[in-house]
Structure 1
Amino acid sequence: MSEHFQHLYEQNNDPWQVRQRWYEQRKRALLLASLPSPHYHHAFEPACGNGELTAALARRADCVTASDLSPAAVELTRNRVAGLPAGRVSVACQRVPQDWPAGAAFDLIVISEMAYYLDADELEQLRANCVNSLGLSGALVLCHWRRPIGDGRQDADAIHAAFDAIPQLHRVSRHEEADFLLDVWSPDPRSVAQQEGVTA
């Protein structure tokens, strides 16, 4: 699998056209608009690809830890965020969920377009890693393409249902379309309005 993605990024620095396609631009905007807080301390984005979402998350967080299993993608992300202040984004070559950042605590975790490549055991490990690393007021975001994927092992609806079943998490929001599914959960059961004390 890692060789497959390495080859993709060596041949094309934007294989899914996340910069050019309106579908991708709109999906990214919806994901960012779905975040329940305006700002985060430490965000984690595995499978960062060429860094388009990473750069956007860096405008909403003090620190972003990003990773990808493709060294070419890691280099593309580093180039994408090179103009940001030093220390704002760190990027590593890692295979998630196996290479989860040790001992890290995050108040935002974004799992986008990657979980369907995992087998059942890896998905269970991903679920556990997210729960164990997410702060009590943090947000966990999942966003996945719903249509068939040739090399995918699971579909988006099944993946999101597995996270929806985690008893420690409460769904904050859901955006559902024919093409993709976007969910946000938090250990904090309060809505965005309740967190701000809005009563009417």
Structure 2
Amino acid sequence: MTSTTAPAGDQRGAYFEQLYQQDADPWRVRERWYEERKRALLLACLPQRRYRNAYEPGCGNGELTLELARRCERLLAADFSAEALLLAQQRLADAGQAGNVAFERHKLPQDWPRTTKGAEKFDLIVVSEIAYYLSADELALLVEHSVASLAPGGSIALCHWRAPFAQRILSTVRVHDAFQHAPGLHCLLRHEETDFLLGVWSNDERSVAQKEGFA
């Protein structure tokens, strides 16, 4: 994590824009074994092999986006930073995996995609390394939007760094607890390490084995 203090409120967008303009991979997500391993764990914890319609807010430079795109028919990848979105688009284009991915600039929670009546909801939502930048009120809206836009049987995956750093507003425990106590969600998995927390919730409490009919 960078030690530079992030401005609060609406200035967060400018902070992330400058961050990605200065460095295309500010957290070394493509280089560090820690990041590669964390992605592999998150992907292994997803309870379905394939997803129809997924949403990844805070996609950054697209490293996790690339792996999610390989398991989704459609993926909406969004970020606060226009520069990050350009990097993510290039990453997927270089890998030949851009055809099923749409990119949009979203400020959370205000720009959360509206799944109005008749619109298809998301059967996978991945919130990774972004929710601790939100205020308590913004987190509450994030949880509300996530639950409301989750398709029946869908999953919400969260993964967040645990250690203190200058830009953090909320603790990782508080972020994950907000989803743990959300009405209508059931915790399918909690993975805890010194460095990060990983959790998966669903509006269907059945396990993978139960869904496949042998438990």
Which range, TM-score by smaller chain?
A: over 0.9
Q: For residues 32-71 of structure 1, what are the structure 2 equivalents within 5 Å? A: 32-71=43-82
Which string of whole-angstrom CA distances, capped at 9 and with x for unpartnered residues, describes residues 89-113 of structure 1? 0011110111011225100000000
Letter in 2 for 1:180: F
Letter in 1 for 2:127: I
Which string of whole-angstrom CA distances, capped at 9 and with x for unpartnered residues, describes residues 1-57 of structure 1? 111111110011100000000000000000000000000001100000000000100
CA distance in 2, matches of 1:144, 1:85: 26
CA distance in 2, matches of 1:91, 1:116: 22
Structure 1 segments, 4+ long, off by >4 Å, are: none
SS at match of 1:81: helix
Question: How far off its partner does 1:85 sit?
Answer: 5.3
Match of 1:18 among 17, 29, 40: 29
Unaligned 5+ runs, structure 2: 1-11
Residue 196 of structure 2 is aligned to residue 180 of structure 1: yes
The TM-score normalised by the length of structure 2 is 0.90
The TM-score normalised by the length of structure 1 is 0.97
Match of 2:172 in 1: 156
Letter in 1 for 2:166: G
Q: For residues 1-200 of structure 1, what are the structure 2 equivalents within 5 Å? A: 1-82=12-93, 83-84=96-97, 86=99, 88-103=100-115, 105-199=121-215
Letter in 2 for 1:130: S
Letter in 2 for 1:152: R
State the percentage of identical aligned residues.
Answer: 52
Unaligned 5+ runs, structure 1: none
